[in-house]
Amino acid sequence: MYDVIIVGAGPAGIFAALELSRNNLRVLMLEKGLDIDRRSCPMKVKGKCIECQPCATVSGWGGAGAFSDGKLTLATEVGGWLNEYMDIGELEELIAYVDGIYCQFGAPKKVYGLQGDALDDLRAKALLAELRLVPAAIRHLGSGRTQAILAAMREHLLGRRVELITKCKVEKILVDKGSVVGVETDRGTFQAGYVIVAPGREGAEWLMQEMRRLGLSTAVNPVDIGVRVELPYVVTRELTDNIYESKLVYHSRTFNDKIRTFCVCPQGEVTLENNGGVLTVNGHSHAERKTENTNFALLVSKNFTEPFREPIAYGKHIARLANLLGGGVLVQRLGDLLSGRRSTPARMAKGTVIPTLKSATPGDLSLVLPYRYLVGIIEMLQALDKLAPGVYSRNTLLYGVEVKFYSSRLNLSTSLETEIANLFAAGDGAGITRGLMQASVAGVVAARSIMNRSKN
């Protein structure tokens, strides 16, 4: 019997545990992946994905963020929808609070972001290209340093009445008379007066199945699907050296779809992810090791209406098409895409951009992505070329597909409690956040709600 059970040891779960540990509550964390010191991707040795279950890149202590670029976005309008559950002032205070904790555990002091005339000039250039620049200060942890910070948090928690069980898959949330009483796992049943479900994107599909089983209401979030762009670092250097990650939004002329940049990785590398047997693409930058390329995602956001209720299934369906054609992730030169032909190893060799993801198969993304997605991506590349000449080059590489598996959003109170008493939800898996910072903040909000209730 525990005071609180936390399902998932990603940023939301970790920050919930950090907050709860201050109140001397007995906390159990359940994680289906491996501990931080045992997480490693065999692809680095074998050269190809062997489809581990669960994937060590996205599951385990630290969640998918452990092997991410480690960006903390210090802005309220980026990284989730928490501004719909609290006022902006409160969210700003929570972001500053969480940022301070990251710094206590080793986050670097430097914060990227332009101010004053420099920011105004960049905004003006963006507007002339029909792009909207969303100002956002960024603290970059970097791959490698992120894992060290998460490991330090783990050691801190294990000395404060927090118990961790890894390789433990939660199968059911247990409810009695409208109130949560515990969870059922593949390693037995655990009881608690409060439960926080924070399974991350990897566990979003399971969470939605459980919510439907329990009769809880949900709303469908936008579906984000696109490509990861890779080009020479010198092309985007003026942007990335000053603001690191450019949050740019474009609405396509043809379909008026929203397209945005996401996860800019200066001098980084393109990486592979296994999402329940579906291979997708991502990217990150190491804290120390640098490449000659920069990569970033271009994601097309689509809101679907009734009767559509399966954003994850839709995203996986498109990703599976790329897997079917190329045996994994596809890569294509922009020039080949515009010419209506597939990329081949010979054509790739003639290009000026050396791909950092060696396992990607040269192919044709027009056979995978829907027409309106491709049109929007091409239009935005043309717009970005006005801001950073060289983006719309025939040698620019496009990897596909990149999908953000945002689940349907749970109906939550302002304290992030579900319609079941004492059952709270936090993080990307609950559909309310989409990044490290807001996921961490959500964990704090859920934990404080429990602490206030337990005191009473």
Give the pLDDT confidence score for residue 407 in this predicted structure: 61
Task: Evaluate whether 395 touches 351 at the Cβ level (below 8 Å).
Answer: yes
pLDDT bucket at 154, cuts 50 / 70 / 90: very high
Average pLDDT score over residue span 382-390: 97
Please write the tens of the pLDDT for every residue from 110-132.
Answer: 998 877 788 889 999 999 999 99
Q: Assign residue 90 a region: left if phi > 0, alpha if psi is -120 to 50, beta otherwise?
A: alpha
Task: Evaluate whether 229 touches 397 at the Cβ level (below 8 Å).
Answer: yes
pTM assigned to the model? 0.85
Whole-angstrom Cα Rg for the chain: 21
Of residues 450 and 305, which shows the higher confidence score?
450
β strands within 266-362, DSSP E? 269-275, 278-284, 293-302, 330-333, 361-362
Which DSSP state fits 362?
Answer: E
Residue tagged 């002339």 (tokens): 128
Helix (H, G, I), strand (E, B) or coil at 72: strand
Q: Which domains does the chain show, CATH number per domain? A: 2-121+136-218+410-455 (3.50.50.60), 223-404 (no CATH)
Task: Evaluate whether 261 touches 296 at the Cβ level (below 8 Å).
Answer: yes
Please write the tens of the pLDDT for every residue from 338-383.
Answer: 999 999 999 999 999 999 999 999 999 999 999 999 999 999 999 9
Task: Give the residue ranges of DSSP H helices in 342-425.
Answer: 345-350, 371-387
CA distances from 297 to 248, 399, 401, 427 (A): 11, 9, 10, 21
CB burial class (10 A; 0-12, 13-18, 19+) of residue 53? Answer: exposed
Average pLDDT score over residue span 312-335: 94
Give the pLDDT confidence score for residue 417 in this predicted structure: 97
CA distances from 284 to 32, 70, 269, 277 (A): 24, 8, 6, 21
At 207, the amino acid letter reads: L
Above 90 in pLDDT, residue 28? yes
Above 80 in pLDDT, residue 276? no
Give the pLDDT confidence score for residue 284 in this predicted structure: 87
Please write the tens of the pLDDT for every residue from 434-456.
Answer: 889 999 999 999 999 999 998 87
Give the pLDDT confidence score for residue 289 in this predicted structure: 86
Give the pLDDT confidence score for residue 45 in this predicted structure: 62
Q: For the chain, what's the residue count?
A: 456
Give the pLDDT confidence score for residue 169 in this predicted structure: 96
CA distances from 133 to 56, 191, 193, 381, 390 (A): 34, 47, 45, 15, 19
Above 80 in pLDDT, residue 44? no
Mean pLDDT score of the chain: 92
Please write the tens of the pLDDT for every residue from 155-197.
Answer: 999 888 899 999 999 999 999 999 999 999 999 999 999 999 9
